[in-house]
Structures are given as C-alpha cells and as structure tokens.
Amino acid sequence: MTTVETALGPVAATELGPTLMHEHVVTRSPGVQENWPHLWDREGIVALAERKLAELHGRGIRTIVDLTTVDLGRDIELIAAVARRSRVHIVVATGVWWMPQRYFSSHGVDEVAALFIRDITQGIGTSGVKAAIIKCATDTAGVTPVIDNILRAAARAQRATGVPISTHTWAAGRTGELQQAIFAQEGVDLSRVVIGHSGDSKDLGYLRGLMERGSTIGMDRFGLESFLPTAKRVEVLARLCAEGYAGRMVLSHDANCWTDMLSEEDKRRTRPLWHYNHIPDDILPALRKAGVGEDQIEQMLVRNPRAILEARQKASA
C-alpha cells in the first residue's frame, strides 16, 4: 500500500481525497510568542483551527498541505494538536521561506539539506512527525546568496528522499523560471516540483513554460485579490484547462486558521474571500460555469495532489 506521511502518521494515498496543496494552519514570527506568550491564546487557536477544518471537511476537502516553514513559525506540536481534533489530513513540510534566519547563510548547502532530510526521514524535532514535502521560496529580492543556498539544499534533499518540492514565487517577476533552472542544475526531475503562487500571474507564456518544462503550477492564492482578482484567476485557469493543462495544476488559497500578522477581523475586512472555504463555495462553481469539467476538477483536486505526494514510494518500490 502506498502511504503518505501526515501530522498523524502515514495515510493511504487513496485516502487523501480532495486536497488543497498550499495552506497554513498557523503562521507567525518565530520567537515572538515564545518571548511574549500573552500575545497568543494557544488553546483558542487550536479551537479556531478545529472549527475551520471541520467546515472544510463538511465541504468535501479531505487533506491540506501545510507549507509552514521554520521562518514562518512552524510549530509541529500545535499542528499535531490540531490534526488530532480534525478529520482533515494535514501533510507537513520542511524547508525555509524567504525570510531565513542567519543560520541558513552561515551553513553550507549540504548542512542545510541534512536538516531537511532529517525532518523527512526521522521526523521534526522529537515529535516523530515526518515532513512529506519541501518548501522553498524566491520573492522580489530574487535569488540572493542565502536563497540560492536554500534552493540547492531543497534540491539535494529532494534527490535524497524523493519527496516533492513546493515553492513560493513572486509570479510578476517570473521567479519560477530561475527556481526551475537551479533545480535542474542540481539534477532534480522537474515533475517533482510544484511552482507555487503561479495563479498570481496572467502571463500565459510564463505559465505554459513552467508546465512544459515538467512542473506542476500552484493556482494557490484564491482569495488574495491584491495579487490577481478572482475573475481573472478563474479565467486563466479555465483557459489552461481548455488547452489541456489540467494534469499540471493544483488548487489552494495560501490561507491560514490564525496568523500573527492580521486579526480575524482584519482578515475579514481587508481580504474577505481569503479563507479555506472559498474554493469549494465560490471557485468550483465559477470554474464549472467557465467550462471546466468535473473530470478536470477531480484531476486538479484529487489525482494531481495524490500523484505528487505518493510518487516517492513508487520511485523506490
């Protein structure tokens, strides 16, 4: 039986079901809540996450991939506590986002890769929870020396373990292209890579290129209207489906249950569509209206995520 590691241990790949490939349970500034514990109500956050995941389960979603890294305040005990109170599987990531601590620039590629490999093969900290995906990121600053270090470490950890890479990009700057170039240089099979935040772009040439070179693209910020309005996101996705690219796209929101950047009230006021339920409630109906078929929706929500997450064992079997 092919299994995929989650916050509660291995789950049969056939059980993953409809999957959101880029979400977060909690994002926060590492160190802040540890030093000023009055800034957060841990039990309250677990209860809030439990409620939000129950709503998502009620809408048919069975798995989320939590791409929270160390520099986004990954808290594996918190994720596991939420998973224990949820019926939605939570796949956990290793890796580093684009605000890495000094550690990552003062240690070499292989030393950083060894940390990622440890999270994947032995588990995160003492939790026993194994990461099943590697996150790395390029933002407006591009590939700085520390980001180059991390992209290469991610590539080497991918090759050593077989788990996929999922990235954060600044789509307007076409930063997915340089990520692919670095991964290819490091010998990564680009079909094992999800180039994230691609749904922020309406540049069809850029998007087709990422997919033609073998990667999956993340149409994964539904609800973040400031990067690209919903109607345009739907239009681009429907167009690429019509062109036959449904096999190379996955869906998500990049939303969270709780973040230290924005209160729940601020989220509702400034980003009213940015929540876990937006895809099931609004986007799937809009895609159907735009001519996307049920089979293509199942491809993007079920078959593509499963193929990306389970390929590791197929490769080693």
Closest distance of CB 22 from Zn ion, Å: 5
| Candidate segments 82-90, 117-125, 157-165, 251-259, binder of Zn ion by CB under 5 A | 251-259
CB nearer to Zn ion: give 163 or 292. Answer: 163
Q: Smallest distance from the beta carbon of 79 to Zn ion, in angstroms?
A: 14
Instruction: Return the number of the residue (166 or 296) whose C-beta is nearest Zn ion.
Output: 166
Total of chain residues touching Zn ion, rule CB under 5 A? 1
| CB closer to Zn ion, 18 vs 196 | 196
Q: Provide, rounded to whole angstroms, the least separation between the CB of residue 49 and Zn ion.
A: 16
Q: Which is nearer to Zn ion, 5 or 254 (CB)?
A: 254
Please report how close the Cβ of residue 257 comes to Zn ion at its closest, in angstroms: 13
Q: With CB under 5 A as the contact rule, which of the stretches 35-43, 46-54, 77-85, 252-260 interacts with Zn ion?
A: 252-260
> Among residues 75 and 254, whose Cβ is nearest to Zn ion?
254
Beta pairing partners, 23 = 66
For the CB of residue 163, give the shortest distance to Zn ion in the complex, in Å: 17
- Quote the least distance from Cβ 97 to Zn ion, whole Å: 8
Tell me if 73 sits within 8 A of 30, measured CB to CB.
yes
The yes or no reply on residue 50 touching Zn ion (CB under 5 A) is no
- The rounded distance, in Å, linking the Cα atoms of 229 and 265 is 21
Decide: is 254 part of the binding site for Zn ion (CB under 5 A).
yes
Q: In this chain, which stretch among 105-113, 126-134, 169-177, 248-256 interacts with Zn ion, using CB under 5 A?
A: 248-256
Smaller CB separation from Zn ion, 121 or 270: 270
Decide if residue 66 touches Zn ion (CB under 5 A).
Answer: no
Cβ closer to Zn ion: 2 or 29?
Answer: 29
Residue with smaller CB distance to Zn ion, 27 or 86? 27
Contact mark string toward Zn ion, 203..242, x via CB under 5 A: ----------------------------------------
Per CB under 5 A, the segment of 106-114, 250-258, 266-274, 304-312 that binds Zn ion is 250-258
152 vs 253, beta carbon nearer Zn ion = 253
Window of 7-15, 31-39, 114-122, 246-254 that interacts with Zn ion by CB under 5 A: 246-254
Q: For Zn ion, which residue has the nearest CB? A: 254
Q: What is the DSSP string of the chain?
A: --EEEETTEEEEGGG--SEEEEEEEEE--TTHHHH-GGG--HHHHHHHHHHHHHHHHHTT--EEEE---GGGT--HHHHHHHHHT-SSEEEEEEE--SS--GGGTSS-HHHHHHHHHHHHHT-STTS-PPP-EEEEE--TT-S-HHHHHHHHHHHHHHHHH---EEEE--GGGTHHHHHHHHHHHTT--GGGEEETTGGG---HHHHHHHHHTT-EEEE--TT-TTTS-HHHHHHHHHHHHHTT-GGGEEE----EEEESSS-HHHHHHH-TT-STTHIIIIIHHHHHHTT--HHHHHIIIIIHHHHHHHHHHHHH-
| Smallest separation, CB 255 to Zn ion (Å) | 9
Q: Residue 203 and residue 280: Cα distance in Å, rounded?
A: 25
Residue carrying the six token digits 């099979």: 189
193-195, strands of its sheet edge to edge: 249-251, 216-219, 193-195, 165-168, 133-137, 89-95, 63-66, 19-27, 256-259
Q: Which residues bind Zn ion (CB under 5 A)?
A: 254
